[in-house]
Structure 1
Amino acid sequence: MAAFQHTVRSPALFAGIGVHTGEYTRVSVRPAAANSGVVFVRTDVKDRDNVVPVSGEAVCKTQLGTVIANDAGVTVSTIEHLMAALVMLGVDNAVVEVDGPEMPIMDGSSLPFVRVLDRAGLRPQEAPRAFIEILDTIEAVEGDKRATLTPADGFEMAFTIEFPTAAIGRQTVDLAMDEAAFRTELADCRTFGFLHEVEALRAMGLARGGTMENCVVIDGDVILNPEGLRRPDEFVRHKALDAIGDLYVLGAPILGRFEGVCAGHGLNNALVRALLARPEAWRMTTLVEDLREAV
């Protein structure tokens, strides 16, 4: 884990369609000053404040994706896959310029974002990197769904899902999570959806850009994508990827263990808000003092 903050060395540029809006958008992830965090800017919005800082409170909607908004009502949708890549590659500060309402879905995973960030490179900054160290159990529960943070020496990610289809069934993943593990275990795992839900979603204005190019599509017990899965348990691994991105709206990486049971974006954000409501259950810490003591 890096002890000091980083931003991108040069702009990371990419473009594509939004999975829900179907709109084509262009994105530039640009360098930002130390301690400024991740800030989205809607460059297509000219008539009001178009700056949308990331925070737990900024999350305004969680149906099939994470949406953030500012006080002027300007929103950016489906930020979680980029956010996961940013936190796990160690990008603390960035300005994300996007010329539409939704982040491009790319191939449905974080891998395209990892690749563009690798090309841009990272630049170290003098400010120490802050971590959210979990001191006590923090939990969000909704029926049989649950999301929990507990103390741990590093960042751990555990997730369990269960769907009544032979294509998924019950899947569990439990990983000690760092940059190398994210790159090899989670980054390429794609979002997924069910064919029978597509018409209803499109009637609600969702999934308009969803195709088998950017989503694993399931029909009954059959996976429709001709290339099949990238991993036998790609589904649960994608849920873990989502959770990492959803947690990074807190503005700092986690030192603790996340456990999700059938959780989604809504419960992940409920956990974020539970953490913010319990300041005694966590603290901000840095690794700089640890390094000084080791010298």
Structure 2
Amino acid sequence: MKRRTIAKEIEYTGVGLHKGENIKMRLLPGDSGIVFKRVDLENKKNEISLDIINTFDLTRGTNIQNEFGAKVYTIEHFLSALAAADITDLIVELDGNELPICDGSAKVFIELFEQAGIKELEKDIMPIVIKKPVYLSAGDKNIVALPYDGYKITYAIRFEHKFLKSQLIEFDLNMKTYKKEIAPARTFGFDYEIEYLKKNNLALGGTLDNAIVVTETGVLNPGGLRFEDEFVRHKMLDIIGDLKILNRPIQGHIIAIKAGHALDIEFAKLLKNM
């Protein structure tokens, strides 16, 4: 596959999930991988390359930092859209330390890439080809990769919750399927988490416009769900983004059970050397 970037620059401004501040994002064509640039920092040490060695604090999202302390939080939805669009090279300028949350899904990012257009570069990129089973587990969380002629993901979730219990989906991934079935799925949280998050200065930008809030009897969002199984679809969106940390296409079948950002990144470390 040829490396790819966007054809022209494009801008978007939206609220960051955790700080609740407006973030201006400017996307520019690039040819040196995915690079995040904190334009709000005065020094020249404000560039953070998309690299697994730069990940940190994977409790509630996927975050990266450089050796000088510049950080960018909550990049997983953006990375997921990059993976679906096969974009390997891009400059991402931000005037804050997190990505806009948009509507809590990857839909806006896909639309931005479509507006900017895609341009092929001269250099090739080698895919990660799963040739033998790869397995990682932590308690009841599991990820497996199996040989497969394509890119397929099977994902299962299970919660001990009155409303949200078990869901499972499986998709062969391509841009058409991703755009229709996965990109619109929004991030979600439980009503009992809200007080803790606010007390710890997290999710200050979270609203019913950019997250699903789950209660014991349903969801608080007036418009309801976009899919009956929107929760597991969003978890699939997340793992697609987390594995994009390697910035290489994947050929294989990924099976994930109750995985999360931390396990996703540990699994990516296993795939890195394949």
TM-score range, shorter chain: over 0.9
- Following superposition of structure 1 onto structure 2, how do residues 5-20 of structure 1 map, counting pairs within 5 Å? 5-20=3-18
TM-score normalized with structure 1 length: 0.90
TM-score, with normalisation over the residues of structure 2? Answer: 0.97
Letter in 2 for 1:144: D
Structure 1: 5+ residue runs without aligned partners? 283-295
CA distance in 2, matches of 1:239, 1:42: 28
Structure 1 counterpart of 2:19, from 18, 21, 30: 21
Question: Equivalent of 2:256, from 251, 256, 260?
Answer: 260
Please report how far the alpha carbon of residue 166 of structure 1 lies from its aligned counterpart in structure 2 after TM superposition: 4.2
1:273 to 257, 269, 273: 269
- Size of the alignment, in residue pairs? 274
What's the CA shift for 1:130? Answer: 2.3
Q: How does 1:138-287 map to 2 (within 5 A)?
A: 138-276=134-272, 279=273, 282=274
Shift of the alpha carbon at 1:64? 1.4
Alpha-carbon distance between aligned partners in 2 of 1:248 and 1:175, rounded to the nearest angstrom? 17
**Bigger shift: residues 246-255 or 3-12:** 3-12
Aligned-residue identity in percent: 35
Query: Cα deviation per residue 1:24-70 (whole Å; 9 max; x = unaligned)?
Result: 1100111002xx21111111111351000001111111121100011
CA distance in 2, matches of 1:167, 1:82: 29
Report the residue type matching 1:229 in the other structure.
Answer: L
Q: CA deviation at 1:129?
A: 3.1
Assess if the C-alpha contact under 8 Å between 1:8 and 1:94 holds in 2. yes
1:43 corresponds to which of 39, 43, 53: 39
Q: Of residues 131, 135, 142 in structure 1, which corresponds to 2:131?
A: 135
Q: Distance in 1 between matches of 2:164 and 2:249?
A: 30
Query: Residue 52 of structure 1: which of 48, 51, 56 is its match?
Result: 48
Amino acid at match of 1:8: I
Distance 1:37 1:256, change over 3 A: same
Write the deviation string for residues 244-271 of structure 1: whole angstroms up to 9, x where unpaired: 0000000112111111101111110111
Task: Structure 2: state its 5+ residue gaps.
Answer: none
Supply the distance in 2 between the matched residues of 1:149 and 1:24 (Cα, whole angstroms): 38
Q: Are 1:165 and 1:221, in contact at CA under 8 Å, matched by a contact in 2?
A: no
